[in-house]
A and B are shown apart, each in its own frame.
Chain A
Amino acid sequence: MDQIPILKIGDTLLVSIQVDMHDRLALALQDDLTAKIVASRARGVMIDISALEIVDSFIGRMLNNIAAMSRILDAVTVVVGMRPAVAITLVELGLSLTGVKTALNVDKGLALIRQMIDGQEGSLDRREE
C-alpha cells in the first residue's frame, strides 16, 4: 500500500502529498502523522497539497482534523500550495477550512510556522515575566 512520507525539517514535519488521496490513505496519514508529532516533538506541521488536483469534502475534513489533532499535540498546521481550482471547489462545497492556516508555497509556509512558534513562545515569555 502507498504511504505518504513525513519529512522532518528542524522542528517542523513536512507532508507532501504527491499521489491521489483516497480515503484509506487519508486515515493512515492521520495515524502516522500524530504518531510522528509525538515521537519527534515537532512544533509545526506543513502539508503540501500542490500536487493534488482533486480535493473532495472528505479530504477537506481530513485537513481540518489533522489541524485540530496537531493543535492538541501543541503543533501548528499550515496547508500550502493549494491550487486555484481546488480552492474554488472547496469554497463551493462550503468548506472554508477556518481552522487551518494556509500559505502560498513551502517557503512562505515555513516562515509562517516559524512566526507562529515564535509568537507562542513570546507570549509565554511575557507571561513568565
Chain B
Amino acid sequence: MAKSESIIPQLIDKHSAQVLKDWLAQMTATGAAGGDDLSEVGGRFFTAFRQGIASAQFDDVGGPAWAPARGILEELSRSRAIKGATPTQTATFVFSLKSPLFNLLGRELKDAEKLAREVWWATLLLDKLGLYTTEVFQKNREEVIARQQEEMLELSTPVVKLWDGILALPLIGTLDSARTQVVMESLLQQIVSSGAEIAIIDITGVPTVDTLVAQHLLKTVSAARLMGAECIISGIRPQIAQTIVHLGVELDVMTKASMADAFALALRRTGKAVRDREQPTIEKKAQNAAPAADE
C-alpha cells in the first residue's frame, strides 16, 4: 500500500500531541504500563512510529523505515520478559494505540466507506506491530529459559574433592541422557586431573531411579572404571532401594546407604583411616572441675 492512499500519516502529523496524550492515558488505564516509565518509552516509540508511517511503505513493518520503532519494541519486550510481565501486558503497549487512533479517524472522517478503509489499514499496521512485539517477547523468554537450563546443567554437576584420591559427585535432579553426558565428562576429566582412585556418586538428590536412570548411573560407573577409578554409589534412600529391586535392576557396583559410609570405605580402600583424637581436653576439664566441686 502506498503512502498516498491513506490519510493516517497526515492526520497523525496534525494531531500528534493529542494522540500521544490519549495513548498514554489509555495505557495507564489498561494496565499496560508494567512499571515502566511510560511517558519516556511512549514518547520515544511515538516519534519512531511517526517516522515509520511517514515512509513510502508505511505498513511494511519489516522495512528500514520502521527500524527505530522495532528497536524500541525489542528493548521494551526484553526488559518486560526479564521482569516477568505477561505477553498481554507487553502487546497491549502497541494495541492500546488503536483506541486514540480510531477516535481520531472517527472525528476527522465523515464518509463511512473511507472511514472503514482507514480503520482497516490502521488495524493491519498495529496488528503487525503487536505481533512483532509478542514474537520478540516470546523469543526473549525462550532465551531466558535456555540460559537457565544451561546454568542448571552446569551447576548441577559439581565434582568435589573429598581427599587426596577421593572424589565425590553429588547428583541433584533427574538423570537424563544429556545430563549423564555432562556428568560423565566432568567426572572423567576430574579423575584425570586429580589422579583420583575412588569416586563416590551420591544420589541423595535424585528423586527417582528407574531403569533408565540406573542404566545411566552404570554407564558412568563403567566409564570411570575404564579410567582406573572405582565408583561407590551412596545416598540410596529406602524407597529407591525397594524400587531398584522391584524393577529387577542389577546395580553391579559398591553401594552404601550414606555418603559418610561411602567416604569411610573410600578412606579404607586408599589405606587411610579416621580415628578419634586422644582427648586431653576432657581430662583437663575433669581436673579443673574437681577442685570447684570441693569448695
Contacts and interface: CB of A to CB of B under 8 A. Distances in A.
Chain A complexes with chain B: yes
A121 to B, nearest CB: 20
A102 B222 contact: no
A97 B227 CA distance: 11
B229 interface: yes
A117 interface: no
A88 interface: yes
Chain B binding surface, main DSSP class: helix
A104 B229 contact: yes
A82 B225 CA distance: 10
A108 B228 CA distance: 9
B227 A91 contact: no
Contact of A91 (B189, B191, B197, B223): B223
B227 A87 contact: yes
B184 interface: yes
Nearest to B191: A104
Interface in B212-257: 219, 222-229
B220 to A, nearest CB: 8
A80 interface: yes
Contacts of B225: 96, 102
A96 B222 contact: yes
Contact of A88 (B188, B192, B195, B229): B188
Interface of B: 181, 184-185, 188-189, 191-192, 195-197, 219, 222-229
Interface of A: 79-80, 82-84, 86-88, 90-92, 96-97, 102-105, 108-109
